[in-house]
Amino acid sequence: MQILKKQLKYGKIKLKITSLDDLWYLSQIIEPDDVVEGKTERKIKLKGRDDQTKSIIKKTIWLKLKVEKTQLHEYSDILKVQGIVIEGSENVPNGSHHSFNLKVGKQITIIKEKWLKYHLKQLKDSSSDNLSNILICVLDRENAFFAILRKKGYKILSKIKGDVSKKIDKSINTGDFYKEIITVLEKYYKRFDLRSIIIASPAFWKDELFKRIKNKNMRKKIVLATCNTAKKPAIQEILNRDEIKKVLDDQRMSQEVQLVEELLEEVSKNNKAVYGLKQTGYAIKAGAVEKFMISTGFIHKKRQKKSFSEVNSLMQKVEQMGGEISIINSENTAGKKLDSLGGIAAILRYGLVQ
């Protein structure tokens, strides 16, 4: 997500969608009664002299909608934002229904009566340099490139070249080259506190290197990928592969699992945890909540029943009291566990007697 303009004084943030992941974030950020504005396509009926429809054309127009609901299409890579037109083209009357189909590359402005901290945190998470602690190593028998990923591409850190000669034993020389690569990997692993390392190569070189890595902690963070060459263009090739998406998904899931496991541990101790809307609401009103979590499934159910305003008020209260809010994806293991507890829960600063 690229934030183009932020005017919190007026409740407005203009942004550009830069990845499919952004659609998931926006499905949680855009809520009923928010206002969205931007360009969209609308079918316009052109009428002839007899007031009969002469033709129908598609026209790009600017509209402002009051949001009724959002729907993330699972297979079409589109977030549909439906609502009532409150301002726009003369061809589209106020009060009529319309929708924005948000996809990668689209610009949109979101207007909220109040942007809460957790909304802004989600925007920050989606627009920050989430890839800055992921390293790519591309190698073959003679060359190795090291690059650190950025939100917009990558930065080459270094290149090393093996000394492979036709006149000497290649296996000995290649073994030394692997050692040199591992030394560089270990250096970057410590320097950048890497979450993930993607090792890619044509053929079997990546597998041979992986076998020789002895650092157990580093091995756990390695993902192997295939590329066509060990030259610089291979890094861009890898950026387009599923391995990158998997690494990012695993990172987010890992954080969610950690948080829910912490909750379950407190529940088992019958100490500083509550779950379910009634108990969690009580703890929030008492100002006892340190970490609040809610599942996407619970949010969607409340929105469908048009009773999300109650939950939103509780979330505002959590922020006022300095609590931390996390939205857990119900599609993942952590979200399913949270849903089994009612979809809403909290870890407390201190125990409560109810």
Q: Which CATH architecture has domain 2-127?
A: Roll (2.30)
- When pLDDT is cut at 50, 70 and 90, the band that residue 76 belongs to is low
Q: How far apart are CA 15 and CA 79, in angstroms?
A: 15
Strand bridging mode 196-201 / 222-226? parallel
| 309-337 per-position pLDDT tens digit | 888 889 989 988 989 988 888 888 888 99
pLDDT at 50: 67
Amino acid found at 310? E
- % the chain with pLDDT above 70: 85
The CA angle 118-121-123, to the nearest 5 degrees, is 115
Question: Which helix (H) or strand (E) is 62 found in, with range?
Answer: strand 53-72
- Report pTM: 0.58
| 155-212 per-position pLDDT tens digit | 788 999 876 544 444 443 556 899 999 999 999 998 888 888 999 999 899 999 999 9
- When pLDDT is cut at 50, 70 and 90, the band that residue 150 belongs to is low
| 101-145 per-position pLDDT tens digit | 998 889 999 999 989 888 998 888 777 555 557 899 999 988 999
pLDDT at 86: 94
The CATH number, out of the four listed (3.40.50.2300, 3.90.1300.10, 3.30.420.60, 3.30.70.890), of the domain defined by the range 134-240: 3.30.420.60
- Identify the CATH number of the domain defined by range 255-348: 3.30.1330.30
CA separation, residue 265 to residues 44, 275, 291 (Å):
58, 13, 14
SS3 content of the chain, % helix, strand, coil (to 5): 40, 35, 30
| 228-285 per-position pLDDT tens digit | 888 888 887 887 677 666 666 666 677 788 899 999 999 998 779 999 999 999 999 9
- When pLDDT is cut at 50, 70 and 90, the band that residue 152 belongs to is very low
pLDDT at 47: 66
pLDDT at 214: 94
SS3 269: coil
Better-scored residue on pLDDT, 339 or 89:
339
User: Residue 71 half-sphere exposure, CB side, CA atoms within 13 Å?
Assistant: 11
Q: List the domain boundaries for the chain.
A: 2-127, 134-240, 255-348
pLDDT at 263: 94
- Which of 25-29, 166-170, 205-209, 302-306 has the highest average model confidence (pLDDT)? 205-209
